[in-house]
Amino acid sequence: MTPPQDDLGLPVRPPGEVRRVVSLVPSLTESVAATAPDMLVGATDWCSHPPGLEVTRVRGTKNPDVAAIVALRPDLVLANEEENQVADLDALRAAGVPVWVTVIRTLDDAFGSLRRMFGTALGLPEPEWLAAAERAWDADLARDVRRAVIPVWRKPWMVVGRDTFTGDVLLRLGVQNVYAGHAERYPRIPLPELLGTRPDLVVLPDEPYRFTPVDGPGFFPGIPAALVSGRHLTWYGPSLTEAPQVLAEALRVARASPA
């Protein structure tokens, strides 16, 4: 029988029944915890949802403790091609640990990838929250179109560029990324150049860099600033069910506030 393939097209041979899972992606950790919590035995230090999650921590997404993961005897490790490093995933495979890699660049990618992960990789029925999330986004949510820069870091300034989940989420809400056509996915752009694009809006998430009312908007004088939840903007999991409402409200507040 041909083994199932992950989003990279790589064959994955988990045991007949997956019972022990380690997740190296916060979004996927929350997804599994909300669906089959007894299945999850390990997660990264960055996996903050659901609150109070009690599993073995295996360091970060970029520097997981491979030996600790192997010691947990997982039937499957869940990973993502953007968040995790190829060398770490290869080391797990070399140790005999099956790894399922997701590739998610758009909302549609997220819905399809999660559906395959649950059904094909984990052998679980589709969770109710996944269908609810898809319904939540199946509407015309773009009330008007505004051009925005979307910083994700400063010192140096880095922004969302091409082909990103974040950019697609905002586009669904009527926010057009100024750097959507950039050659890089997360380019470094000096602040004067960001200001020179004359955006209608600056979108400031609270992760990976934690922008706040006193650390972010002040760098963009005269430009409305939307301070948004990074979890709702960048995570693909149960948070997607409420993300349209949460993000739309943050954008509405920014539009209504004086620049």
pLDDT tens digits along 185-201: 999 999 999 999 999 99
* Upstream peptide bond of 156 is cis (omega within 30 degrees of 0): yes
- What would the pLDDT profile of 139-155 be if each residue is shown by its tens digit? 777 777 899 999 999 99
Looking at the fold, whether 63 and 166 belong to one and the same domain comes out as: no
Give a yes or no: residue 9 inside a domain: no
Looking at the fold, whether 92 and 153 belong to one and the same domain comes out as: no
Eight-state DSSP code of residue 9? S
Q: Comparing C-alpha atoms, which of 227, 230, 232, 216 is closest to residue 250?
A: 227
Give a yes or no: residue 5 inside a domain: no
Looking at the fold, whether 34 and 116 belong to one and the same domain comes out as: yes
Rounded to an integer, what distance in angstroms lies between the CA atom of residue 102 and that of residue 113? 6
pTM summary value: 0.92
- What would the pLDDT profile of 21-73 be if each residue is shown by its tens digit? 999 999 999 999 999 999 999 999 999 999 999 999 999 999 999 999 999 99
Contacting residues for 43 by C-beta, under 8 A, at least 6 apart:
22, 23, 24, 26, 29, 53, 55, 56, 57, 58
Query: What are the counts of helices (DSSP H) followed by strands (DSSP E) for the chain?
Result: 9, 11
**Would you state the pLDDT for residue 14?**
83
Looking at the fold, whether 42 and 68 belong to one and the same domain comes out as: yes
Looking at the fold, whether 165 and 238 belong to one and the same domain comes out as: yes
The size of the chain, in residues, is 259
Decide if 224 contacts 254 (C-beta within 8 A): yes
Q: Roughly how many angstroms between the first and final C-alpha of the chain, as a whole number?
A: 61
**104, 126, 148: which is the final residue of a domain?**
126
pLDDT exceeds cutoff 90 at 256 = no
Rounded to an integer, what distance in angstroms lies between the CA atom of residue 147 and that of residue 153? 19
Looking at the DSSP bridge assignments, the partners of residue 212 are 215
Owning domain of residue 34: 21-126
Give a yes or no: residue 3 inside a domain: no
Q: What percent of the chain has pLDDT over 90?
A: 91
- Binned at pLDDT 50, 70 and 90, residue 130 comes out as very high
Q: Classify residue 79 as exposed, middle or buried by CB count within 10 Å of its CB (0-12, 13-18, 19+).
A: buried
Domain count, the chain: 2
Give a yes or no: residue 135 inside a domain: no
- CA atoms in the 13 A half-sphere facing the CB of 166: 27
Residue reference for tokens 């609270």 = 206
